[in-house]
A and B are shown apart, each in its own frame.
Chain A
Amino acid sequence: MVSDTIAAISTALSSSGIGIVRISGDNAFDVINRIFVTSDNKVITKADSHTIHYGHIADGDEIIDEVLVMVMAGPRSFTAQDTVEINCHGGMLVVRRVLETALKHGARPAEAGEFTKRAFLNGRIDLAQAEAVIELINSKNDYARKSSLRQIDGEVSEIVKELRKRILYEIAYIESALDDPEHISLDGYAKKLEGNVVDIEKKISGLISSADNGRIIKEGIKTVILGRPNAGKSSLLNLLLGEERAIVTDIAGTTRDTLEENILIDGISLNVVDTAGIRESEDIIEQIGVKKAFASADDADLILYVIDSSDKLDENDKEIIEHIKDKKKIIILNKSDLGVVTECDYIKEKTGQDAIVFSAKTKEGYTALLDKIRELFIEGSIGFNDEIYITNARHKSALMEADDSLKQVLASIEAGMPEDFFSIDLMNAYAKLGLIIGESVEDDLVNEIFSKFCMGK
């Protein structure tokens, strides 16, 4: 439990100059030796403790980055295990690629707080810090669980569920035949299974490539645009996007659901959610939209609150202000081109901050808005937890392991192995896919066997 080899990015995922990937565990040196290339074919061993080496990280023939590798042999490291730290040239993309290469070559993604936990379990942190560690693990796990479920793309999650269902059915079929060979026959089953597994494997490969494109989870600072109907939320989004994405009309209540877009501002990734306008409404669909808007706001890292400054604040605005007053937010007085008549003092009093005078039409205040976002990010007021990225890495590695298991099933079918070997690898694929949607195995199989197949004396 404490000695398999884990890896994670240990620097903040920002656009900083240098990123560090840390690898720790019994096989840390094996992993680095598989991916680290130097001009003199250096092989890292325990003897290299506390030295630094120059070279490249490579995935097979492909060079990923020019790096410095720091070597710390256990017990003289943070975790008291063999540890290497790869100092990469930076840029989020490169650091990620380095981590992925390490994962591909034998490390697994670290759990939330796992380096710290190891450090503690191996006596590197004193006892007084134990409770802090527990809290860290709990909070990080909560966050990871939440973000894992919140950020997984709905469509991806549906696909994973469907694939698991299909895999489980196949396992249950094999297992019920093994348990009750006189009732259920496996004659000719391998051929049928092969077709199904090929299809499932293809779908998983597809998910892996979407993970490469970062589409499995939505990364970035979760930014929610709020405001009453027709305050100009969609216009703001379009301005940020530079394209007409949301439907914009002059009829209040046009955006009935939430829209999501990813926007890059000077390397800061914003995951922007446009919401339905918030107002008392008889329209059921619109009510759902409003409910969703508030729910999104509760989850948000940053709120962009758009006010129609050509009008007075109404009850809806007051409700919004009440709802978001303790959140990280930027207040935008839109439609300044029509003349600002709204109650600026009230807003300042309630929220404790100045609003930006803004016009989506004339672009007045646009630069000020971007500056404000940049400022909040740099001073650290907003940012996204690196757990989000780790979550993605974990999903990807789970997908890859599931994929490997399915390929193993195909190899076993090809080699004419008996059917009971198929179900071992199918089960592994099932368990790995479960990690992505936060479901464990428990008694799924036994339940499936009894519900789908009639067995028994």
Chain B
Amino acid sequence: MAVLKENYDIVVVGAGHAGCEAALAAARLGLETIVFTISIDSIAMMPCNPNIGGSSKGHLVRELDALGGEMGKNIDKTFIQSKMLNKSKGPAVHSLRAQADKQRYTYEMRKTLENTAHLTVRQAEVSEIMVDNGKIVGVKTISGAQYFAKAVVLTTGVYLRSRCIYGDVSNYTGPNGLKSADLLTDSLIKNGIEIMRFKTGTPARVDKRSIDFTKMEEQFGDERIVPFSFTTDPDSVQRKQVSCWLTYTNEKTHQIIRDNIDRSPLFSGAIEGTGPRYCPSIEDKVVKFADKDRHQVFIEPEGEYTNEMYLGGMSSSLPEDVQYEMYRSVAGLENVVITRNAYAIEYDCFNPRQLKPTLEFKKIDGLFSGGQSNGSSGYEEAAVQGLIAGINAALKVLGRQQLILDRSSAYIGVLIDDLVTKENKEPYRMMTSRAEYRLLLRQDNADLRLTEIGYNVGLIDQERYDKLILKKEQIKGEIQRLENTTVGANPEIQNFLELHNSTPLKSGSTLIELIKRPELSYELIEAIDRNRPKLSADVCEQVNIEIKYEGYIKRQLQQVEQFKKLEKKKLSVDFDYSQVKGLRKEAIQKLDMYKPMSIGQASRISGVSPADISVLLIYLEQNKNKLQ
């Protein structure tokens, strides 16, 4: 029987948030790309929370956008509420979050994929990878069709051998009842890939008409909306917003959960996968934080044209009847009607220490992996990995140098470095505390940090690049001007200072010095800054931040300098550590397991001591040619 055979440059397996970014990046770099999905109607589906962004996740989306990814643009087209979180805190932790219209999000992303040159969208289940002599050559689908490619990107999300569970009900499906992919795992295991089993969960969706909103607090969006994408004109997104609602669980809710805890598959042991600590199910919260008398529940719309509402904070895998009882004990949900049950989902994923920081498997040349299947969690974490995996697959096919963002240049770098260097026992979520140089990695300067990189890769066009260069020059020029502009201790200035509760001047001062005072800012001193040029709001923002936090920023820059020295010392993944005399046994085992790409990465592996690093450095010097 004849089988279908086709040739592509790049195959992407899965069209979720990671797969869409990978496929778009590869196709936009001019490579013939095919993306497989189990259901074309579910491209970029949001099976859990109906929002994009949030603390540190917002950073990821801004960074992705600065590099030329799609998620930021897509949420700008489809959000129904937007909020800048942590606005009262420092600029480093401001983070954007937008409620999405889920249907429109999917629809817009599908439209973008379908209209991108060099990109084919194909509905089929991939069942095997084809490997020849340690090199990927393509994939097979369940029909036996063969798709040959120079590189393959796995973005399988939570679909590998997935199982959805609530109470004693257990369905072998992906999220939302979509088909799971049950065959690919075996092929991957056969090719030496180590599989882990992770778990996550989602709350119930309910009918808006059955909710009593008068018992809840209304949560509005921001008055002035900041778009996610640096390319979106802020004026174009000042649209009407939909509200979310806040209510709380109570002692009765907790009692219902405690009374039925033995019926939870998580506690009875029916679920084996490791779940994330940061989005615990409500039963987890009640058990672990027994002293809390209530937990927040956010009621979020799933879209503008549906009555379905998401019960944020109450994910669960309790049986259907208990779900009803516990939801109905919450103020405002007394008569709630469930449209979809809460459930837990278990799935296969890959131990990410098998990957290089480029997201290519160390063992299989040309096979890349990005997204939740690398043991992460969240749409944003998935998307950025998809983008990097897609870019690197394309660069590899083009014979160009791989892209690695280090920990000092992006949250994306922190995320990937953590995944490939540290032991991950639960789905990994981005957090601002994981970024040691977070004062430098702000969401407001993602373009200044990364757009040039995106331009060099080929995903940013000339016009956008020119704008960036202009912006950089304006920021630099304006800071210089402020440095060179002096004001005297004259009555006008003293009055101004008095007005703002600021100490009067004893002698002349530069404007920079005034901006640095806690009670003043670039914006405030406009009144005494006669020759101020007209600059855009985002340039002004950068000028203010760079001046006000200069001391902190400088300190972090010094730390980065130290950090980079070790990152620059490269190690080969083929290196045999057992031949290095003086390394401790534990260090040899760990180094062998992780096969780090640099001394810096090696130093972050737990079980490798500073003394081991000294030994490695010396060995490196001694055998310069062997290792580098």
Is B622 engaged at the interface, CB distance under 8 Å to the other chain?
yes
Is B298 engaged at the interface, CB distance under 8 Å to the other chain?
yes
Which listed residue (B279, B312, B313, B621) contacts A121, Cβ 8 A?
A: B621
- Please measure, in the bound complex, the distance between the C-alpha atom of A415 and the C-alpha atom of B549, giving whole angstroms: 12
Residue on A nearest B49 in the bound complex, by CB: A457
Most buried by B among A131, A141, A171, A181: A181
Contact B89 A418, beta carbon cutoff 8 Å: yes
Contact B289 A454, beta carbon cutoff 8 Å: yes
Contact A182 B89, beta carbon cutoff 8 Å: no
- Distance in Å: Cβ of A227 to nearest Cβ of chain B: 38
* Cβ contacts under 8 Å, B552 to chain A: 421, 424
Contact A454 B89, beta carbon cutoff 8 Å: no
Which listed residue (B90, B289, B432) contacts A175, Cβ 8 A?
A: B432
Is A456 engaged at the interface, CB distance under 8 Å to the other chain?
yes
* Cβ contacts under 8 Å, A111 to chain B: 610
Which listed residue (B86, B285, B434, B614) contacts A181, Cβ 8 A?
A: B86
Contact A417 B90, beta carbon cutoff 8 Å: yes
A386-424 CB mask vs B (1 if < 8 Å, else 0) is 000000000000000000000000000001111111011
Which listed residue (B92, B312, B565) contacts A1, Cβ 8 A?
A: B565
Contact B56 A134, beta carbon cutoff 8 Å: no
Given contacts A141-B611, A421-B90, A454-B288, contact A183 B433 (CB under 8 A): no
* Cβ contacts under 8 Å, A182 to chain B: 85, 296, 298
Is A152 engaged at the interface, CB distance under 8 Å to the other chain?
no
- Please measure, in the bound complex, the distance between the C-alpha atom of A416 and the C-alpha atom of B89, giving whole angstroms: 11
Instruction: Name the prevailing secondary structure of the A interface residues.
Output: helix
Most buried by A among B582, B609, B614, B619: B614
In the complex, the 10 A-B pairs of residues with the closest C-beta atoms, listed nearest first: A418-B90, A134-B582, A450-B277, A456-B279, A175-B433, A141-B611, A418-B89, A454-B289, A420-B90, A420-B93
* Cβ contacts under 8 Å, A418 to chain B: 88-90, 93
Residue on B nearest A135 in the bound complex, by CB: B582
* Cβ contacts under 8 Å, B313 to chain A: 456-457
Contact A456 B617, beta carbon cutoff 8 Å: no
A431-457 CB mask vs B (1 if < 8 Å, else 0) is 000000000001101100110001111
Selected A-B contacts with CB under 8 Å, 30 pairs? A117-B614, A120-B621, A121-B617, A133-B618, A134-B619, A135-B582, A138-B582, A175-B431, A175-B432, A178-B432, A179-B56, A179-B432, A181-B89, A182-B296, A186-B89, A418-B88, A419-B89, A419-B90, A420-B86, A420-B93, A420-B432, A424-B439, A442-B606, A446-B433, A449-B431, A454-B280, A454-B285, A454-B289, A457-B298, A457-B313
B397-435 CB mask vs A (1 if < 8 Å, else 0) is 000000000000000000000000010000000011110
Contact A183 B55, beta carbon cutoff 8 Å: no
* Cβ contacts under 8 Å, A456 to chain B: 276-280, 285, 313
- Distance in Å: Cβ of A72 to nearest Cβ of chain B: 22
Contact A138 B611, beta carbon cutoff 8 Å: yes
Contact A420 B431, beta carbon cutoff 8 Å: no
Which listed residue (B89, B279, B296, B422) contacts A420, Cβ 8 A?
A: B89
* Cβ contacts under 8 Å, B566 to chain A: 1
Is A343 engaged at the interface, CB distance under 8 Å to the other chain?
no
| Given A178-B55, A418-B88, 14 additional A-B pairs, CB 8 A | A1-B565, A4-B562, A120-B618, A134-B582, A175-B433, A416-B519, A418-B93, A420-B86, A420-B438, A443-B422, A446-B431, A454-B288, A457-B298, A457-B313
* Cβ contacts under 8 Å, B312 to chain A: 457
Residue on B nearest A141 in the bound complex, by CB: B611
Contact A446 B434, beta carbon cutoff 8 Å: yes
- Please measure, in the bound complex, the distance between the C-alpha atom of A392 and the C-alpha atom of B279, giving whole angstroms: 44
Contact B55 A180, beta carbon cutoff 8 Å: yes
B274-308 CB mask vs A (1 if < 8 Å, else 0) is 00111110000100110010011010000000000
* Cβ contacts under 8 Å, B491 to chain A: none
Is B615 engaged at the interface, CB distance under 8 Å to the other chain?
yes
* Cβ contacts under 8 Å, A424 to chain B: 439, 552
Is B518 engaged at the interface, CB distance under 8 Å to the other chain?
yes
Contact A134 B90, beta carbon cutoff 8 Å: no
Interface residues on A, range: 35 or more
- Please measure, in the bound complex, the distance between the C-alpha atom of A141 and the C-alpha atom of B583, giving whole angstroms: 13
* Cβ contacts under 8 Å, A43 to chain B: none
Contact A416 B622, beta carbon cutoff 8 Å: no
* Cβ contacts under 8 Å, A4 to chain B: 562
Quick one: which of A300-342 are within 8 Å of B by CB? none
Is A18 engaged at the interface, CB distance under 8 Å to the other chain?
no
Contact B617 A417, beta carbon cutoff 8 Å: no
- Please measure, in the bound complex, the distance between the C-alpha atom of A224 and the C-alpha atom of B295, giving whole angstroms: 59
- Please measure, in the bound complex, the distance between the C-alpha atom of A419 and the C-alpha atom of B92, giving whole angstroms: 11
- Distance in Å: Cβ of B456 to nearest Cβ of chain A: 28
* Cβ contacts under 8 Å, B85 to chain A: 181-182
Is B315 engaged at the interface, CB distance under 8 Å to the other chain?
yes
Is A130 engaged at the interface, CB distance under 8 Å to the other chain?
yes
Residue on B nearest A2 in the bound complex, by CB: B565
Is B581 engaged at the interface, CB distance under 8 Å to the other chain?
yes
* Cβ contacts under 8 Å, A186 to chain B: 89
Most buried by A among B93, B433, B615: B433
- Please measure, in the bound complex, the distance between the C-alpha atom of A1 and the C-alpha atom of B603, giving whole angstroms: 12
Contact B606 A181, beta carbon cutoff 8 Å: no
Contact B581 A457, beta carbon cutoff 8 Å: no
A252-286 CB mask vs B (1 if < 8 Å, else 0) is 00000000000000000000000000000000000
Contact A131 B581, beta carbon cutoff 8 Å: yes
- Distance in Å: Cβ of B574 to nearest Cβ of chain A: 22
Is A382 engaged at the interface, CB distance under 8 Å to the other chain?
no
Residue on B nearest A140 in the bound complex, by CB: B611
- Please measure, in the bound complex, the distance between the C-alpha atom of A127 and the C-alpha atom of B620, giving whole angstroms: 12
Given contacts A1-B562, A180-B55, A421-B90, contact A454 B433 (CB under 8 A): no
Given contacts A415-B518, A449-B433, contact A130 B622 (CB under 8 A): yes
Contact A181 B55, beta carbon cutoff 8 Å: yes
- Please measure, in the bound complex, the distance between the C-alpha atom of A449 and the C-alpha atom of B292, giving whole angstroms: 16
Most buried by A among B279, B292, B518, B611: B611
Given contacts A117-B614, A454-B292, A455-B278, contact A178 B93 (CB under 8 A): yes
Is A137 engaged at the interface, CB distance under 8 Å to the other chain?
yes
Contact A183 B296, beta carbon cutoff 8 Å: yes
Contact B581 A134, beta carbon cutoff 8 Å: yes
Residue on B nearest A1 in the bound complex, by CB: B565
Quick one: which of B432-456 are within 8 Å of A by CB? 432-434, 438-439
- Please measure, in the bound complex, the distance between the C-alpha atom of A404 and the C-alpha atom of B528, giving whole angstroms: 36
Contact A457 B295, beta carbon cutoff 8 Å: no
- Distance in Å: Cβ of B569 to nearest Cβ of chain A: 9
Most buried by B among A111, A121, A420: A420
Contact A179 B55, beta carbon cutoff 8 Å: yes
- Distance in Å: Cβ of B141 to nearest Cβ of chain A: 35
Contact A445 B433, beta carbon cutoff 8 Å: yes
B585-615 CB mask vs A (1 if < 8 Å, else 0) is 0000000000000000000001001110011
Residue on B nearest A419 in the bound complex, by CB: B89
- Distance in Å: Cβ of B237 to nearest Cβ of chain A: 22
* Cβ contacts under 8 Å, A117 to chain B: 614, 617-618
- Distance in Å: Cβ of B259 to nearest Cβ of chain A: 21
- Distance in Å: Cβ of A19 to nearest Cβ of chain B: 27
Contact A179 B431, beta carbon cutoff 8 Å: yes
Contact B615 A137, beta carbon cutoff 8 Å: yes
Which listed residue (A127, A137, A421) contacts B614, Cβ 8 A?
A: A137
Contact B86 A178, beta carbon cutoff 8 Å: yes
B62-87 CB mask vs A (1 if < 8 Å, else 0) is 00000000000000000000000110
- Please measure, in the bound complex, the distance between the C-alpha atom of A417 and the C-alpha atom of B438, giving whole angstroms: 16
* Cβ contacts under 8 Å, A455 to chain B: 278
Contact B582 A131, beta carbon cutoff 8 Å: yes
- Please measure, in the bound complex, the distance between the C-alpha atom of A420 and the C-alpha atom of B431, giving whole angstroms: 13
- Distance in Å: Cβ of B563 to nearest Cβ of chain A: 9
Quick one: which of A126-160 are within 8 Å of B by CB? 127, 130-131, 133-135, 137-138, 141
* Cβ contacts under 8 Å, B431 to chain A: 175, 179, 446, 449
Contact A134 B618, beta carbon cutoff 8 Å: yes
* Cβ contacts under 8 Å, B439 to chain A: 424
* Cβ contacts under 8 Å, B295 to chain A: 454
